[in-house]
Amino acid sequence: MFTGIDDVDWASMGHAYTDSATDVPDLLRDLASDDPACREIALDGMYGALHHQGDVYASTVACIPFLFELATTASVADRGAVVHLLCSIAGEREPDPEEIGGLFEDEEEDAAFVQPFLDAWATVRGRADVFFGLLADPDAEVRAAAAAALAHVHPDPARVLGALRERLTVERDPQAVGALIHAIGRLGADHRDALGAEAGAVLREVVAVESRPEQRLAGLVQLARCDVASLPEDLVETVLDIMELACEQDGAGQDEAGQERPDAPERPRTDTMVSHLRELEATQRHSVDASRAGDLLEELHWALDDHTEPRLDLLVGQLQTPDWGQRMAAVDMAGALLTGWRAPDDLPVVLLARQLIEHEPRLSQRALTELCHVAPIAQVIADVLAMCVREWDDTWEPGDWEGTLFGKALEALALQGDVRAVPALAEVLAREGTVPEDLGEWVERIGREAAAPLGPELHRRLVALSSDRRTPSKERLVAALGVLAHPESLPLLVEMVEPGIGRMSMWSLARALSRYGSAAAEAGPRLREFVATASVPLEIRLGAAAALPAVGGEGEPLLPLVRQGLESDEWLELSPALKAAAALGPAAAPLAPRLRELLATRDAHTDVIVALWKTARDVDEVLPMLLDKWTASPGARPTAAACLIEMGPAAAPALPLIREELSSPRRHSNVSRADDSSATNTRYDVAADEGLLRDCRRLVTLAESP
């Protein structure tokens, strides 16, 4: 295995931890050790030193021939892990020098950094025929790894598909069968035009013939990835039946073939990342009663991507299953699906609320967390939440009320804008409960008039904190009082505008005072004095300046200060200057030339475009920028739509984009890919998206009005 290993000039090559790779031969030899702990430590060392965070070094490339020898030597244990390491070293796809490079200013140094990535891909790919021989290896883990490797790196995908299809007819090990199915699906997805139909035919046969529920489900996952149109018409019923059978077998301690499930082989506990990740996965699975079938069902959801109709039907079925573990997984999927995509009806939300009556605290807590995320589309279950707030009213203490079932139910109710949240929130404040982080948003959702009874208690709490310069609770109370424009609090807010105030506190105060409008005219002199104080940091003065127009101050005297902020290279100063310019509106028209300069240097930042629109009001100039930004930066669409509404009928050229948005199944900020595993735990801003949809419908109405 190691012939020639000592002839390699390891000392001239480095890796992540040292300029000399003389420790590498020992790592390679330890991968062949009879001691499982020694092998695991060596594998961890390979990933940590020679493949650190995905990097590849010359020493890594030098290891590849020896790793192939290890992978093909029958007497070596854990060879499947070696095959996976080889594929990881090769990279997910053919490396792009422009994408990898650019880290070093010196071109030669940069090229030297990129070259090992190119060499690793070419070397592993050039030896990939080796993996064909491992498809029939006595070790099932090696067979599974070989299938994945062939689909990943072999240069002849048609030949690979033929070999995998043939192996699938004789393979009996569940792990290896699953790997074959996954590899066939990958080939079909990566080479859809050439191999999609052939791979789809193999996968349809798996779904129709395979008796093991997890393998049938795996076939459906891969079919969705490579040929979604070929999925069975009764997909939802098929999947739910498969999941029911899988749960029955799991409860009986059986494997996918109905045989008694053997105990998993014991592995040594080592102080390595490999060992830690294995234990972490096991712990997570146990905590949510997870199964491989449940993982595959989640994969199917993501593979279906924008095909929301079957996804929502699946979700509805999952939320009604008697299996607790499935419902826990369904609750998580409900949050990801309903925040990332637009549902046509309320049934999934209703079934989420149904979990609250199961008398299972963990399930209720999960459901309430997701109901907070989807609050803007969950008014249909407001009565249920109000009942929960009443039922759990005696289950909280002031110091930790937010994390209780009562606290989460109150949060979900408040985020729906339901006035029934007001008495409970008033009681929390009166009992000195912690001030919630999003209190201002809660009050804004409920509305100024409906939430007015909170004013006295909010004011009392703020008075009690008036001597504390900077506390999160203080800023949260200020934000909420600003929404209410509580008259009694205005003098206190004005007094808070004083030297030494922090940036975030000033911005919070400025926003609050702006909400009072002309009723806060008494704040004008204090704000003007603050703006004129040169010793106050520029970004804080600009925050105060942004509030002056709203309370009746003149805009023209502020222009020199705002211009100074617009000239800054620091975003902390530039950002409030842009907001101040937008607040001044046409009075800041002399600043338009500077804003145009910023558009060239700031890559047409949304805040710059908005400031230019507010100050110059030139539709012909700004509209094309907004349309470009709409396409290039989906997250900017709510802001762009607000500007388009101000343009009125002149915004008609935007209608094709507006109608496209209204017809999209995705929420505007959901730009994740179907194969992006990080999207699993992502929750998108439903309130912003629902506001965007309202503005889009309004724009269509404006354009169609005579």
**Per-residue pLDDT, 468:** 67
Q: Domain extents for the chain?
A: 1-136, 435-553, 618-706
> For position 459, what pLDDT does the model report?
96
**Exposed, middle or buried, 400 (CB in 10 Å: 0-12/13-18/19+)?**
exposed
Amino acid at 49: A
- Which of 264, 265, 263, 271 lies closest to 40, judged by CA? 271
Q: Please state the pTM of the whole predicted model.
A: 0.82
* In the chain, % of residues over pLDDT 90: 68
DSSP state of 34: S
Q: Are 315 and 236 in contact (CB under 8 A)?
A: no
> Are 497 and 482 in contact, with CB atoms under 8 Å apart?
no
pLDDT above 80 (res 287): no
**In whole angstroms, what is the distance from residue 309 CA to residue 413 CA?**
28
Q: Is residue 469 very low, low, confident or very high in pLDDT (cuts 50, 70, 90)?
A: low
pLDDT tens digits, one per residue of 20-55: 999 999 999 999 999 999 999 999 999 999 998 899
Task: Give the integer Cα–Cα distance in Å for 700 and 704.
Answer: 6
β partners of residue 260: 254
Dist CA 10 CA 207 (whole Å): 50
Q: What is the pLDDT averaged over residues 466-477?
A: 81
**Partner residues linked to 444 by β-bridges:** none
3-class secondary structure per residue, 63-80: HHHHHHHHHCCCCCCCHH
Q: Please identify which residue in the block is written with the tokens 């070259």.
A: 115
> For residue range 96-139, what is the model confidence (pLDDT) as tens digits?
888 888 888 888 888 999 999 999 999 999 999 999 999 999 99
Q: In this model, does residue 695 exceed pLDDT 70?
A: yes
The pLDDT-based confidence of 286 (bands split at 50, 70, 90) is very low
Going by C-beta distance under 8 Å and a sequence separation of 6 or more, which residues neighbour residue 290?
284, 325, 329
> Looking at the predicted structure, is the pLDDT value of residue 536 above 90?
no
Residues 6+ apart with CB under 8 A from 330: 315, 318, 319, 321
**Cα distances (Å, whole numbers) of residue 561 to 216, 468, 484:** 67, 29, 30
Q: State residue 666 phi and psi, 5-degree precision.
A: -90, 150
pLDDT level of residue 289 (50, 70, 90 thresholds): very low
d(CA 177, CA 200): 16
323 with 293: CB under 8 angstroms? no
* Segment 487-500 mean pLDDT: 89
Cβ atoms 640, 626 nearer than 8 A: yes
Angstrom distance (rounded) from CA 377 to CA 354: 16
Compute φ and ψ for 302, nearest 5 degrees.
-70, -30
DSSP element (H, E) containing 678: none
pLDDT tens digits along 303-362: 999 999 999 999 999 999 888 888 998 999 999 999 999 999 999 999 999 998 877 889
Dihedral of the alpha carbons of 214, 216, 222, 225, in degrees to the nearest 10: -110
CB 46 within 8 A of CB 56: no
pLDDT tens digits for range 648-684: 999 999 999 999 999 999 999 998 766 665 566 789 9
Residues 6 or more apart whose CB falls under 8 angstroms from that of 243 comprise 213, 217, 293, 294, 297, 318, 321, 323, 326
Identity of the amino acid at 358: E
Residues sharing a CB contact under 8 Å with residue 514, sequence separation 6 or more, in sequence order:
482, 520, 546, 547, 550, 551, 583
Q: Name the CA dihedral angle for 157, 163, 165, 170, rounded to a multiple of 10 degrees.
A: -160
Average pLDDT across the chain, whole number: 89
Query: What six digits make up the tokens of 608?
Result: 């710059």
Give percent above pLDDT 70 in the chain. 92
Token reading at 212: 């093991």
Residue 286 tokens read as: 């146990």
For the four alpha carbons of 424, 429, 430 and 434, in that order, the dihedral sign comes to: positive
Alpha helix positions (H), 228-320:
235-251, 273-287, 292-304, 308-319
What ranges in 91-168 are assigned the alpha helix state H? 97-100, 107-126, 130-134, 140-153, 157-168
AA letter at 242: I
Closest C-alpha among 318, 324, 321, 322 to residue 336: 318
Question: How far apart are alpha carbons 647 and 640 in whole angstroms?
Answer: 11
If one compares 255 and 122, the residue with the highest pLDDT of the two is 122
Element containing residue 467 per DSSP (H, E): none
DSSP-derived letter for residue 48 is I
| Residue 565, amino acid | G
Q: 251 falls in which pLDDT band (50, 70, 90)?
A: low
> Cα separations (Å) of 24 from 9, 44, 78, 186, 223?
11, 12, 19, 33, 42
- pLDDT (0 to 100) of residue 229: 87
CA–CA dist 601, 363 (Å, integer): 50
Backbone torsion region of residue 343, taken as left when φ is above 0, otherwise alpha when ψ lies between -120 and 50, otherwise beta: beta
Number of Cβ within 10 Å of residue 533's Cβ equals 12
User: What is 211-234 written as a DSSP string?
Assistant: -SHHHHHHHHHHHHHH-GGGS-TT
3-state secondary structure of 341: strand
Q: How far out from the chain centre does Cα 569 lie?
A: 30
Asked if 700 and 655 count as a contact pair (C-beta separation under 8 A), the reply is: yes
The number of residues in the chain equals 706
Query: Could you tell me which CATH number the domain at 435-553 has?
Result: 1.25.10.10
Q: Minimal CA–CA distance to 509: which of 488, 482, 472, 528?
A: 482
Closest CA to 380 of 354, 342, 410, 398: 354
Tens-digit pLDDT profile for residues 190-226:
999 999 999 999 999 999 887 788 899 999 999 999 9
Please report the pLDDT score of residue 342 as a whole number. 96
Q: Please name the amino acid found at residue 185.
A: G
pLDDT at residue 263 greater than cutoff 70: no
SS (HEC) of 611-664: HHHHHHCCHHHHHHHHHHHHHHCHHHHHHHHHHHHHHHHHHHHHHHHHHHHHHC
pLDDT of residue 260: 45
